[in-house]
Structure 1
Amino acid sequence: MNPHPLLLASSSPYRRHLLERLGLPFEVASPEIDESPADNETAEQLATRLAQGKAEALAPAWRDHWIIGSDQVACLEDGMLLNKPGNHERAVEQLDRSSGQRVSFMTGLALLDAGSGKIQTHCEHFHAHFRSLSPDEIEHYLRAEQPYDCAGSFRVEGLGIALFSQLEGRDPNSLVGLPLIALNDMLRNWGLNPLLQPPGPISAARTVIR
């Protein structure tokens, strides 16, 4: 299979910055899908379905592309989902609930050949063990980074690393939102090896709205 142009189906600057690390040119477009969980849907099923849905939503307008979709779902051990908090108060609640707990992050990934409909899907599991956090620590952290657009209310690539006692999983990039190891495997499955591509600019992404 000959490599096609890449499209990242996401409005997230975090996913865009992660994909840039592979050194491949790609475009960016934002899909619009309903992200509500279905009845009796597990976190893994939800993350995988949303990743595939994002890729498929853009397929009609990008028929010559390979489309990358990704979505992340975080949950406590009791099954409670942790979404993007959106504001300070909800972020305080989330970190208070997560304090001293093991939080599981399920990051769904899909690579869709929009022309043929062929698709690869995967769900990357990663676990974050939170320290027992004091109210002052939670307040200080949230005021410092304001991670209100991040599932779980933290940014592991910043000061958020201080919230944890242990991280468990094969790819820490999945915590940020895009499992690069799994994506590299998918691309290589279809004949595109990032290690064998000509060197290009550090940032080759181009944001496109159609």
Structure 2
Amino acid sequence: MGATGLARLGPFFVVEPLDDGPWRPVDGLVSGPALAERVRWTRDALQVRSGVDVEERVAASTASLGIFARVLSPAIGAALLGVPAPDPRSFSWQPVEGGPMRLAAPTWGRHTPSEAVDVLISPLVERLDSEHGVSTKIGWGNAVSAVHGAARMVAQADPALAPAAGRLLLDLLEHPLLSGTADVGPPFVRRSCCLYYRLPGGGYCGDCVLAHS
């Protein structure tokens, strides 16, 4: 399995064995109530930190950034390391108070980042739009930002993989759902904004289109 190799790339790449702990199936995020729970939790946390009421769509977009990065990173890391990847359909997860959520998977094989986009990211983008007011343009911008972030983290963890990470980023930008969502540059700039600037003191992310306009 590729779990050990993935762990050396950083916490967003770690996938644990599925044991008897309080794991929750990923279906709860994709099609069940867990997505709304994560949005509420994020909104509450942002409101405590900022001291103001936070728009639901801002909280939902912020929550999605973490979710997308977490479920895409293992697939991207495995592809670049040339090791088996976790089956995105088999993921289970646990929430964490700060930091990336925990992931576990019992099934590994020749699973690709594009598969994770199709199986997990696509339905989440649709739900964020229909249920939480985050447009699909913003949702896919958040997804491409997560792809770029994962590729960059791999390159930082292992500079020898930087050229392959750049090629994988370009390949994923050819995915029909990610095409047209960003300009590779340098600098890499997404063509939408995650809305984090709408929080007091939020500012712009480094890849935000508003920061480069």
TM-score (norm 2): 0.32
- The structure showing larger relative contact order (alpha-carbon pairs under 8 Å, at least 6 residues apart) is 1
Greater gyration radius: 1
Where is the strand percentage greater, Structure 1 or Structure 2? 1
Where is the helix percentage greater, Structure 1 or Structure 2? 2
